[in-house]
């Protein structure tokens, strides 16, 4: 069985410095902000930057120096689902949700996320790719990335229906330290 895809993900307050991705390293930089959970829209001010660096074996040599610069959140992650899928090149946005879970409920949480939650969101119109990750370093421990045609999908009826199953309502009781971000502008740096 091949090793899981690894990522460095960093949310920063400032545009990251340009760094060329080399070899099997892929890098995307997105501009966005926190999510207003009442309106289900992006809070554009203050802006935030998401850097996703995907790699096969070891983090790129430049990763530690550039990753922590102005970091709001920073993770080294292993991808749990789906397999070794890379970031969608045709996405118009990224929705990021992170959380910790009560350790006594972690097995059920992973079962729910793998068998219900990710499959439900994969079927939502406008969702190109739904992935989930576990932190090797950084917190919160779990991160979900939704590559979408447009972040407006977050307020759609289909998203709301996928997000209101009996099992998700049960699992929310065991989650904490949740963060929500939306990113709409992919930047080449």
pLDDT at 152 over 50: yes
Select from 181, 88, 176, 103 the least CA-distant residue to 139: 176
pLDDT score, position 3: 78
Kindly provide the residue ranges of all beta strands, DSSP E only, lying in 56-169, ordered along the sequence: 71-81, 93-101, 127-137, 142-148
The average confidence (pLDDT) of the chain is: 90
**In this predicted model, which residue has the larger pLDDT, 18 or 63?**
18
22-54 confidence digits (pLDDT tens): 666 888 999 999 999 999 999 999 999 999 999
* Spatial contact of 106 and 139, defined as CB atoms under 8 Å apart: no
Q: What is the pTM of this model?
A: 0.91
pLDDT score, position 22: 66
Q: Compute the distance between CA of residue 118 and CA of residue 85 in angstroms, rounded to an integer.
A: 13
pLDDT score, position 124: 98
Select from 47, 163, 45 the least CA-distant residue to 97: 163
pLDDT score, position 65: 46
Q: How confident is the model at residue 111 (pLDDT cuts 50, 70, 90)?
A: very high
Domains (ranges, CATH) in the chain?
Answer: 6-187 (3.30.70.100)
62-99 confidence digits (pLDDT tens): 544 444 556 899 999 999 999 889 999 999 999 999 99
């Amino acid at each position: 069985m091949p090793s899981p895809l690894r990522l460095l993900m960093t949310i920063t307050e400032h545009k990251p410095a340009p760094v060329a991705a080399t070899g099997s390293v892929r890098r995307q930089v997105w501009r966005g902000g926190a999510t207003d959970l009442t309106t289900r829209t992006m809070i554009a001010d203050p802006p935030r930057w998401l850097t996703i660096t995907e790699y096969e074996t070891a983090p790129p040599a430049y990763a530690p120096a550039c990753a922590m610069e102005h970091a709001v959140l920073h993770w080294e992650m292993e991808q749990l689902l789906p397999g070794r899928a890379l970031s969608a090149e045709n996405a118009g946005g990224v929705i990021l949700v992170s959380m910790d879970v009560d350790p006594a409920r972690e097995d059920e949480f992973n079962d729910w996320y793998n068998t219900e939650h990710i499959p439900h969101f994969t079927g939502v119109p406008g969702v190109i790719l739904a992935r989930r990750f576990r932190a090797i370093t950084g917190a919160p421990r779990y991160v979900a990335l939704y590559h979408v045609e447009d972040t407006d999908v977050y307020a759609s009826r289909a998203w709301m229906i996928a997000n209101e199953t009996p099992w998700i309502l049960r699992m929310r009781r065991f989650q904490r330290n949740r963060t929500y971000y939306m990113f709409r502008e992919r930047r080449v740096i």
